[in-house]
Structure 1
Amino acid sequence: MLPTLNGRLQTRVFMLVVLGGLITLVLTPLLPGRPGYGTTFAILATVLVAGIGWELVYHGIQQFRWEKDWPTMFGLLTAVNEGALVWLLVDVGAVPGIEANSVGFGAFLIDFVVIWLVIWVWTNGPMRVPFIRWRFFGGRIV
């Protein structure tokens, strides 16, 4: 069974809130430039909100594919366009609570890439053990 749009949205929200939140708690003090928790959680929230928009775009594109889903590695590459959009929003000051040019690119890149990779690896591997029926229910968590 392939993940449905509803399932992909639920998985994205669940993973970013739970796993992304835990990673952000641990990673923030280690980032260069010492951005505060308010900044890193605002970035995480931006990734979540922008990601919901991206899922709608991805869903539309996937309708042209026979199996209606991405190959696994292609899902990893979607980090490039999502990260670029979030960085642009952060850099120009479009994210509430973050001033324009106040977050260094290095700190953003480390934060985004670590969270993205951990969530991608977890979703495509170990998550299938505790949530054994997850894939059969179209990726829905609830």
Structure 2
Amino acid sequence: MLPTLRGRIETRLFLIIVVGLPVTLLYALFVGGLPYDGGLLLMLLGVLLALLVVGVILDPLYILIQRLRWDRDWPFAYQFFFSIIEFVIVLSLASLEWIPWLDEFAFQRGETIRLASFHFAWVFLIGFVLLLGPLAVLFVRWRYKGGRFGRL
């Protein structure tokens, strides 16, 4: 379980850094426009951090579910479904004000929830497509080493 857990966490961090941060910056610039004050960017980065934390907390559960499957694989349909579940958990925690680094009133308004949802959709879809396509081609052996980049 530990090599696979380490690999899942490495992959999650890699996608957040390589895909999540640039997409977040571009999205905040596009939505916020110029001149830019940074409040929206900080909120979106807070959501990205919350998604990372919730995902890392849920990764051991995903591995247990994965072990119940006959091929011990994690289909991309599961990844798609559980990513949406993670986002719903983050939105729920944020609306209950249980995420300390997010503004306490940010998720009480519909506009903020809409912006965060579109942000999540962009980050997730771009990361999902990259994981299925270019990253799978560039890191062929990565999948067979428990998802760990250090063991290519």
TM-score bucket of the superposed structures, by smaller chain:
0.7 to 0.9
Note the 1:79-90 alignment, pairs <5 A. 79-90=83-94
Q: Quote the residue 1:110 is aligned against.
A: 118
1:50 aligns with 2:61: no
- Structure 2: give runs of 5+ residues left out of the alignment: 33-37
- Secondary structure of residue in 2 paired with 1:98: coil
Q: Quote the residue 2:82 is aligned against.
A: 78
- Asked whether the 8 Å contact 2:43–2:103 carries over to 1, the reply is no
Q: Quote the residue 1:21 is aligned against.
A: 21
User: Could you say which structure has the higher helix fraction?
Assistant: 2
Q: Which TM-score applies when normalising by structure 2? A: 0.81
Q: Quote the residue 1:11 is aligned against.
A: 11
Name which of 133, 137, 149 aligns with 1:125. Answer: 133
The answer to which structure, 1 or 2, has the higher relative contact order (CA under 8 A, 6+ apart) is 1
- Structure 1: give runs of 5+ residues left out of the alignment: none
**Residue type of the alignment partner of 1:80:** I
For residues 7-28 of structure 1, what are the alpha-carbon distances to aligned partners after superposition, in whole Å with 9 as ceiling and x for unaligned? 1121011111221111111111
Q: Quote the residue 1:41 is aligned against.
A: 45
Larger radius of gyration: 2
CA root-mean-square deviation? 2.0
Aligned residue pair count: 139
- Asked whether the 8 Å contact 1:13–1:48 carries over to 2, the reply is yes
